[in-house]
Amino acid sequence: MNLTIENILLVGSLLLLVSIFAGKTSYKFGVPTLLLFLGIGMLAGSDGIGGIRFNDPQLAQFIGIVSLNFILFSGGLDTNWTAVKPILRQGILLSTLGVLLTAVSLGTFVWFVTDFTIYESLLLGSIVSSTDAAAVFSILRSKSLALKTNLRPTLELESGSNDPMAYVLTIAFLTLVINQDKSFASIVPLFLQQMILGGIAGIAFGMSSKYIINKIKLDFEGLYPVLVIALMFITFSATDFVGGNGFLAIYICAVYLGNQDLIHKKTILKMFDGLAWLMQIVLFLTLGLLVFPSQIIPYMGIGLLISVFLIIVARPIGVFISLMFFKMELKRRFYISWVGLRGAVPIVFATYPLLAGIDKANMIFNIVFFISVTSILIQGTTLSLVAKWLKVGLPETQKKLTTTDLLMAENPKAEMKELLITSDCSAVGKKIVELGFPKHAIIAMINRDDSYIIPNGLTKIEAQDTLIVLADNPKVFDDVYKTLKK
């Protein structure tokens, strides 16, 4: 069946509906949701029962880049700076040096076991060198894994911030494959330019975005998420236009915004959480449609060999060397090594060789697709089991609530207190967004003149208001008192 304007909405909505229902029951059988989305796309494709012919790498790449914008931005908004700060150096090294070591060690192995040139081998290694943000965020949060000693923020920070490094390496080695006369040293300026400009742009756009969101007065609450979407795409495209890394910029921008007081923050977070899930489904369905299962079969042997080496050797090399200067238990290092999930991002990056038209582009794409499926299937289904074996997991009852958990929960299990605002309180006359309220507490309602109002960031505190405050634990109220009195 060929996609036309008349049937694309029907087919798309049916695939989306099937994916949602399949994802709802998939974990009962231990199958990661994202793998179900990918499988449904393959079944609907030209080699499957759906017979949908889709062979447009350029469109798939465009959908992939747009989807990654939403996924990385949503992940950044949900990143708690308080939890990330103690492991910032480890996360940065894993997302830079770790990715480079993984790419080089895997590329060297591919060079030995295939007829690829060294640059083609390193290109393949670069494409699959980063952990996939969509897979890590989705699986860790869907399984509600409670992990010891900052493991979860380490894994989420790495997965959210290492795609830029893999992207730069992919573009750099693709350039060397196309232009054989260039030297390895020629890619160093590109790397520095991408990372430095991307980091600066992320911080700059984050600060300016906060100012715009809090200062602009829109008539409808629903327009604020739309405003943030516009700012997100401006951050990505403007950074890319000046030669920086757009993926790095939007992640840093989102981390900054997620840890600031924003107007209608709950609405923004909920909207982006839903959009991130939508984009994950669309992305995996699209990539499932793009692949031809019959073309993967000839590469299953070499694909399995490379995948096993990546999981057992290349990923641990990157992790252990990157973390060698930090005091960390061996079992934690092994677990970080195991959570090296590959997913949609490598497949998206594998479309770049296809569009460049290099000789082995089709072979690289099919091998990368097989590696991603193998990784999600083997590692994604065993995260809880390996955590239990290595004794790095905690009971779900001990899992700490993040700011987003509090904001997005309809009935959060938190401490609640009613606080009376007296006329001498310094909070009187201030907007909620200006209070600098503790991250682990929210003002759920305000009792004013015997009536209850649901506040937002623009709501001004008045004398004799009674604030109904929810907090993660009783100790947070000490910070709440200080905030209201200062």
Average pLDDT score over the chain: 83
Answer with the residue of higher pLDDT: 445 or 136. Answer: 445
Is residue 358 classed exposed, middle or buried when 0-12, 13-18 and 19+ CB atoms within 10 A define those classes? middle
For position 480, which CATH number holds?
3.30.70.1450
- pLDDT number for residue 2: 55
Bridge partners, 451 (sequence order): 448
- State the amino acid at position 272 in one-letter form: F
* Same structural domain, 428 and 318: no
How far is it, in rounded angstroms, from Cα 435 to Cα 431? Answer: 7
Is residue 366 within 8 A of residue 303, CB to CB? The reply is yes
Domain identity same for 387 and 451 = no
pLDDT value at position 410? 47
In a domain, 427, yes or no: yes
Q: How confident is the model at residue 429 (pLDDT cuts 50, 70, 90)?
A: confident
How many domains does one find in the chain? 2
Same domain? For 362 and 458 the reply is: no
Residue 229's pLDDT is what? 95
Longest Cα–Cα distance in the chain: 78
Highest mean pLDDT among 32-41, 232-241, 375-384, 476-485: 232-241
Tell which wins on pLDDT, 468 or 83.
Answer: 468
Last residue of a domain, one of 339, 368, 398: 398
394 and 419 in a single domain? The answer is: no
Question: Which of 37, 29, 32 has the alpha carbon at shortest distance from 378?
Answer: 32
- Give the contacts of 226 (CB within 8 A, at least 6 positions apart): none
Question: Residue range 116-131: average pLDDT?
Answer: 93
pLDDT band at 395; cut points 50, 70, 90: low
Rounded Cα distance, 254 and 251, in Å: 5
Task: Tell me how far apart the terminal alpha carbons of the chain are, to the nearest angstrom.
Answer: 66
Domain range for residue 451?
Answer: 414-485
Judge whether 393 lies within some domain.
Answer: yes
d(C-alpha 316, C-alpha 15), whole Å: 37
d(CA 251, CA 258) in angstroms, rounded, equals 10
Residue 29 has pLDDT above 50, yes or no: no
Is 86 or 35 the better-scoring residue by pLDDT? 86
Q: What are phi and psi of 416, to 5 degrees?
A: -130, 140
In a domain, 40, yes or no: yes
**Cα–Cα distance between 46 and 53 in angstroms, integer?**
5
Least confident range from 87-96, 296-305, 465-474: namely 465-474
pTM, rounded to two decimals: 0.78
Query: Is 452 inside any structural domain?
Result: yes
If asked whether residues 420 and 287 sit together in one domain, one would say no
Decide: 251 and 73 in contact? Cβ < 8 Å: yes
Residues 6+ apart with CB under 8 A from 394: 146, 147, 148
Q: Are residues 345 and 418 in the same domain?
A: no
Confidence of residue 316 (pLDDT cuts 50, 70, 90): very high
Whole-angstrom Cα distance, residue 96 to residue 434?
36
Q: Quote the strand ranges of 300-440, DSSP E.
A: 393-394, 415-420
- 167 shares its domain with 120: yes
Greater pLDDT, 310 or 81: 310
Same domain as 445, residue 378:
no
Choose the final residue of a domain: 371, 398, 425: 398
Choose between 25 and 379: higher pLDDT. Answer: 379
Position 382 scores a pLDDT of 83
Angle CA(343)–CA(347)–CA(352) in degrees, nearest 5?
A: 150
pLDDT (0 to 100) of residue 397: 46
pLDDT tens-digit readout, 181-197: 777 777 788 888 988 99
Choosing from 370, 398, 426, the residue where a domain stops is 398
Could you tell me if residue 10 is inside a domain?
Answer: yes
Q: Is 407 domain-assigned?
A: no
465 and 336 in a single domain? The answer is no
Are residues 423 and 463 in contact, defined by beta-carbon separation less than 8 angstroms?
Answer: yes
Same domain, 384 and 424: no
Position 405 in a domain: no
| Most confident region among 100-114, 158-172, 219-233, 371-385 by mean pLDDT | 100-114
Same domain for 370 and 457, yes or no, is no
Instruction: For residue 474, name the pLDDT band (cuts at 50, 70, 90).
Output: confident
Q: Is residue 177 part of a domain?
A: yes
Which CATH number covers residue 26?
Answer: 1.20.1530.20
Q: Cα–Cα distance between 110 and 467 in angstroms, integer?
A: 62
Give the sheet arrangement for strand 451-453, strand by strand: 415-420, 466-471, 441-448, 451-453
Confidence of residue 66 (pLDDT cuts 50, 70, 90): very high
Residues 357 and 420 both lie in one domain: no
- β-partners of residue 453 are 446
Sign of CA dihedral 151, 154, 160, 162: negative
Residue matched to tokens 């003002």: 443
Looking at the DSSP assignment, which residues form a beta bridge with residue 466?
A: 420, 447
Q: Which two tokens stand for residue 93?
A: 């090294």
What are the residues whose beta carbons fall under 8 Å from the beta carbon of 311, sequence distance 6 or more? Answer: 338, 340, 375, 378, 379
